[in-house]
A and B are shown apart, each in its own frame.
Chain A
Amino acid sequence: MRAYATALAAAAAMTVSGQALAWSLEEAAAPYEGTSIKAVFLDRPGYKAAAELVPEFEERTGIDVTWETLPYENSRERQVLNFVGGGDIDVALVDVVWIGEFAANGWLTPLSEFYDDPALADPDLALDDFFPVLLDSFGTWDGVVYGLPFDNYSGLMFYNQCMLEEAGFDGPPETWTELMTEYGPALTDADANQYAFALQSRRGETQSADSFMRVLWPFGGSLLDEDFRSNLTSEESLRGLQFRQDLMEYMPPGIVDYDHAEAVDALAQGQVAMITEWSAFYPTLADADQSTIVDCLGVTTEPEGPAGLKPALGGFSLAVNSGSSTDEQIASWLFIQWITGQEMARDFVEAGGVSGRMGVYEDEALLEAYSYIPPMVQSWEADTAVASFRPRFPEWPELSEIIALDGTRMMLGEVDVEEGAADLGDKVEEVLDDAGYYDGDKPLLK
């Protein structure tokens, strides 16, 4: 038995040393030992997971990794000022809707500069192991890869199974219509401060992405048509927006002030029975210190609309700031390659992150341990995912501001849905016109 074990260990050692001769992180990083790089992190579970794993990278490479934790709402501003003013951020955090702006302005280095260099590219990099929708949406602009998917979200439905059972339901609603017509009335009791559903709709990206866009796609609508003209006044888009308006009857009052934290808390404290939130909030809802419904927590895909399952898509890639020095850029690449790598995927998930690697989700044990994974993977499948859930062109931040304001006003009833959609469409077209999309000056990339 001992001889067998020794032989096995020797074989393993030979395999490892064989790989080391070919390429190793330590060897690739050796010339950059002592280099210090800085990343941008958010106060979300994926970044806490990364922070837990960073010491291992530092130990193996001698590269010092620091990070600045920012609120989401300030992270783009901080990075744009950094790019323009020549700041100290080396590892850029790129939201799916910033990739067009960051890449088109030349603020990011194309990653092929690194992964085409055998000295820097891990043979196991396997870009094709990323879910295509994630790599294409979060990391790619105009056919060039700038970032690797790092903090990956799909919209999911989280629900309180106990509340549903008490109201006589076996499981969550399969369609949005079912949610409103059957679950809404049965699970709402305003006198007891209990509501069926909460849709985070606070002014900001939460309103534009999580609330406004979320009701367009499942009903067959969209923000723009193929020619980049507003599609908000189409029958399908209006149906989605009107649906949101009607659904507010089963949401807590003041829903227009609900951000992610409030929506997650409302479910975690048993005030609402269902929410549609990013997969990244699963660790919060499953943590007994923060949630009172751990034993009742259920997770599934978002409800289907008349156009089928069209879940929200969001997330961030990590990219290299083209303004950093060569050493810092390479050190940043090595870090990005490592933290998003296949080798780290399992550790990342177990630490609370959401990997964008397909391979890691083939692990049955992981699928059983984390109930959010199967619906999330289903949402990222090629035939389900909505790659252009939000346009990724440089004008999105400006459009997002407009949608955030007008979308909230629409929910408050300050403006009629139809009239509001038409007005919003005009404003959207005005921005895109100024940007040159209608003159043929700019390719219709989104």
Chain B
Amino acid sequence: MSSRSNTPAFWFIAPSVIALLAIGLAPILFAVFNSLHEYNLARPAAGKPFVGLENYLTVLTDGTFWSSLGRTVTFLVTAVPIQIAIGLWAALLLHRPGLSFMRSVARVSLVIPLATTYAVVGLIGRLIFNREFGVANDMLGWVGIPVTDWLGDPTMAFVALIIMDVWQWTPFCTLILLAGLSMVPKETEEAARLETPSALRILRHVQMPFLLPGLTAILILRTADVLKEFDKIFTMTRGGPGAATELISVYIQRVGFRVFDLGLASAQAVVLLVFCIVLSRLYIRYVYKEAEL
């Protein structure tokens, strides 16, 4: 260990590790500590007594927590496949030979939704899906579809939220998958094109192995992102109508910063973290492993 600590590599890496410990691990440990205590910020007189696993027990028996988590999973398994599908389609289009100028323009414009702040995306969504003045109803009206109550109807509000998420995050999938496609050796791809006219077969047997690492990254990052999706929902629907768009992060924020029950909110966040780690491990095990084959 002492010999290793003398190597330049150790000292180059040490600052990053220390920074990660400080900004990544320390808050998690603090959250775990809080989760074992009764800790309500708005009741300072009550102190911060140790309660063991009581908060975790509350989480596990809280129907609202599980229904919010269920809603989040529904959101995840609906939005992310759509984003990957459209993203892959766009990436394949941009990967086609020629059109280099268009490709450059497209790559730049793909960054715009990604660079837009979540809260602003929510506000844009609120305007787009406004029942009276929104462009969504206006455009649907051109093809004779009657006025839809997007944000006042539980199902449609959920759909509207997914549409905004797809708008914001499909470009991310496109860019990652496009990077994967650019890794495919040109000779192999050209040879495959001579072998078969089927783009699907080329995708499956030639391009897919290069796409899987990116796909794993997309799954991990988007899962983590959906699990902590808050700003957009808060500005667009505030979790409503009813609880229709109350994803898990909105619920945790409500417990943590409305009720200020930081002990319970921390326990919820820790359970969510475990859930996220398990999902990430599953992605790596089943998707990334396939890439190694």
Contacts and interface: CB of A to CB of B under 8 A. Distances in A.
A398 interface: yes
B85 to A, nearest CB: 30
A346 interface: no
B177 to A, nearest CB: 36
A271 B238 contact: no
Given A84-B44, A409-B242, A254 B259 contact: no
Interface string B231-269: 000000111111100100000001001111000000000
A105 B241 CA distance: 33
B54 interface: no
B240 A256 contact: yes
Interface of B is mostly: loop
Contacts of A80: 41-42, 260
Interface residues of A, number: 30
Contact of A256 (B42, B242, B246): B242
B154 A401 contact: no
Nearest to A105: B44
Contacts of B240: 202-203, 256-257, 408
Contacts of B259: 397-398, 401
Nearest to A78: B257
Interface string B211-241: 0000000000000000000000000011111
Interface residues of B, number: 28
Contacts of B241: 203, 254, 256-257, 408, 412
A101 B149 contact: no
A197 to B, nearest CB: 16
B238 A253 contact: no
A412 B132 contact: no
Contacts of A204: 238
B131 A253 contact: yes
A254 B238 contact: no
Interface in B166-185: none
Contacts of A303: none
A162 interface: no
A358 interface: no
Given A203-B239, A401-B254, 9 more contacts: A105-B44, A203-B241, A253-B152, A254-B149, A254-B153, A255-B152, A256-B240, A258-B152, A394-B43
24 contacts: A77-B257, A84-B41, A84-B44, A105-B43, A193-B132, A203-B239, A253-B153, A254-B131, A254-B153, A254-B241, A256-B241, A256-B242, A258-B152, A266-B132, A269-B132, A394-B43, A397-B42, A397-B258, A397-B259, A401-B258, A405-B243, A405-B246, A409-B243, A414-B242
Interface of B: 41-45, 131-132, 147, 149-154, 157, 237-243, 246, 254, 257-260
Lowest 8 A-B CB distances belong to which pairs?
A254-B152, A203-B240, A256-B241, A254-B149, A257-B152, A409-B242, A257-B151, A253-B149
